[in-house]
Structure formats: structure tokens, C-alpha cells
Amino acid sequence: MSLQDIYIANNQRKRLLKAVVDETLLQQDEHTLVLNVAAYLDYKALTGECPVEEIVGDIELDYGAEYIIFS
């Protein structure tokens, strides 16, 4: 299983939770958020929206990872 760890500010974490409400895409585990990359890429292809990129800004996301961990 491949992971990418990204540290984000608390306000970014709150914004991610509001922007991505589908639990198949983003799950909350204590103080971390876990993004399912494959599900998120499908979501982006269907909707044309990129809420994670808009919130985290210039941080490069590894779409080859299975999960991205925001803490």
C-alpha cells in the first residue's frame, strides 16, 4: 500500500471536510483525513471539480499513491 503524508493547517482540514462529504472519497480518523486516490480521481473525472487541489494549494499530490493522508 502506498501512502503520501501531507501536513495541513486546521482550517484547511475543516475546509476539506466541508468540500468532500462523500466518505468513499475522504474519511476522518481522529485528527487525520484519509483520501482514497482512485475514488477521488473518478470523482474529478465525473464532476470536473478539484476541491482538494483548490484547498491544499501548491502542495504536489501523488496520484500514484493509494491513499493521501492529511494531518
Ranges of each domain in the chain: 3-70
pLDDT on residue 59: 86
How far out from the chain centre does Cα 52 lie? Answer: 5
Residue 64 CA to residue 29 CA, distance in Å, equals 22
The tens-digit pLDDT sequence of the chain (71 residues) is: 899 999 999 999 999 999 999 999 999 988 899 999 999 999 999 999 999 999 998 889 999 999 999 99
Alpha helices in 1-71 (DSSP H): 10-19, 37-47, 51-56
Residue 1 pLDDT: 84
Query: Where do we find the cell 473518478?
Result: 42
